[in-house]
Amino acid sequence: MDEAILKEYFELLRFPTVGAEPRRLRDCVDCAMWIKKWLAQLGFKGELMQAPGMLGTPPILFAERKGGEHAPTVLFYGHYDVQPPDPLEEWETPPFEPTLKDDGRVYARGAQDDKGQWFSFLCGLRKLVESGATLPTMKVVLEGQEESGSTALAALAPTIKDRLRADVLLVCDTSAAADLRPAIVAGLRGVSHFTIRLEAASHDLHSGEFGGIAPNPAQGMAELIASLHAPDGSIAVRGFCDGVEPPTDEERAAAESAAMSDERYEAEMGCPPVGGEAGLTPTERNSFRPTIEVNGIHTGYGGPGSKTVIPASALAKISMRLVPGQRPDEAMACVERHLRQHTPRGMRLFVEDLTGEAAGFRLPLASPVFRLAAAALEEMDPRGPVFQWDGASIPVVSALRQCSGAAPLLVGWGQPQDRIHSPNESYGLEQFKLSMAWAEKILAMLAG
């Protein structure tokens, strides 16, 4: 790959833009300014924006470049914030010092998710600009809170509807199929995440003096979390799955045609794909069914040796993936009602830090923009694209779709070995080049 591009890519990755951490706000501002300056070289007029009443959050970059007189308008979305690098001890190289290894992959936090994906796309756009090609009008929105719920952009978007108006909403924050076969994402699950706390005693208690007397929040949290699911893995929360819209036969067949085998899942994950509801395929469980997942539990003592205490409190981080037919507020109401009904005796429950609250969506396979994208991808790869319904979420896509009036087109180049959200995240140079080529192909076709 061109050394100049690699140098810029490394500069971008060195910004420790953990948008959820207030101490990283300055890094987020510096990164957004870097991107604004980079885009200015391509003729973009950029502006750093804040949502009303939300000072102190990472800035949102909005940049625009006028295109051909009769060309459509493309709204391109991405995020420059990244997940925290923890646990640091599991990184083989420093998370914010990008490293190109002999396997042709760049290792760093954000190497793929999402800095590598959107930056490679914009590098493809730059090649078109430098060639003098006619382009669509381009509007770029890059935010710093996607990994923590996109609250600022969700609040800002309705206030700048006119500036967001577009014909196509392009997103490069998804995955290709196995062996980098191109994939068009025809739907995303929604997401909400929240924290639950159980409290009992006013302080940690000696487990000998008070064992069998004091309620134990560590044990209570285990019971409470276990109550969320039935023994067959299905969700046991009353009303949570009411209204879930099943896939059509066409959608199910298209999703299964691109599915990984159980053996491939096990090779990628390091464990068999047996989570979730029994009796459904991994593809259906991941693409078309909702989930409630435990992201972390924190309580008591976890150091070396033993410490015989009854913890005074326990905390758990929970996330929900939602599908069409579910409203985030109704789903959360069902879960909170269930949790309160199952709170162990003698303990107090607190439900806090609700973020995300994004609905899932599915797009019609006959969409005209899908046909155009399929033609572009067939030119890139003779295998042609597959359709995928991504089990992950990009919370703000639904809001941008509604505010812009644009037809969404989600094509990305992620692979399981990228290990996003985990230590040793990476992005292959081959993937980077494919994203550049995709930008060149689809933007040229959209410009006509």
Judged against a pLDDT cut of 90, whether residue 356 lies above it is answered with no
Q: Would you state the pLDDT for residue 418?
A: 97
Q: Would you state the pLDDT for residue 358?
A: 85
Q: What is the pLDDT of residues 256-281, one digit of tens each?
A: 988 888 998 999 899 999 999 999 99
* Inter-CA distances, 181 with 28, 176, 191, 283, 378, Å: 33, 6, 27, 17, 10
Domains of the chain: 3-189+360-447 (3.40.630.10), 191-249+286-358 (3.30.70.360)
**DSSP states of 335-385:** HHHHHHHTPPTT-EEEEEEEEEEE--EE--TT-HHHHHHHHHHHHH-TT--
Band (pLDDT 50/70/90 cuts) for residue 100 is: very high
What is the pTM assigned to this prediction?
0.84
**DSSP states of 32-83:** HHHHHHHHHTTT-EEEEE--TT-TTSPPEEEEEE---TT--EEEEEEE----
Q: Can you tell me the mean pLDDT for 398-424?
A: 95
Q: Would you state the pLDDT for residue 65?
A: 98
Judged against a pLDDT cut of 90, whether residue 430 lies above it is answered with yes
Q: What is the mean pLDDT of the chain?
A: 96
- Decide which of 429 and 394 is more confident: 429
Judged against a pLDDT cut of 90, whether residue 247 lies above it is answered with yes
Q: Which of 135, 158, 156, 160 is nearest to 145 (CA)?
A: 156
Q: Would you state the pLDDT for residue 206?
A: 97
Judged against a pLDDT cut of 90, whether residue 398 lies above it is answered with no
Q: Can you tell me the mean pLDDT for 350-364?
A: 90
Q: What is the pLDDT of residues 117-167, one digit of tens each?
A: 999 999 999 999 999 999 999 999 999 999 988 999 999 999 999 999 999
Q: Would you state the pLDDT for residue 24?
A: 98
Band (pLDDT 50/70/90 cuts) for residue 315 is: very high
Q: Can you tell me the mean pLDDT for 309-338?
A: 97
Judged against a pLDDT cut of 90, whether residue 234 lies above it is answered with yes
For 69-89, give one letter per residue: b (16+ CB within 10 A) or e.
Answer: eebbbbbbbbbbbbbbbeeee
Q: Would you state the pLDDT for residue 258?
A: 80
DSSP tag of 214? S
Q: What is the pLDDT of residues 214-224, one digit of tens each?
A: 999 999 999 99
Q: What is the pLDDT of residues 19-47, one digit of tens each?
A: 999 999 999 999 999 999 999 999 999 99
Q: What is the pLDDT of residues 63-94, one digit of tens each?
A: 999 998 889 999 999 999 999 999 999 999 99
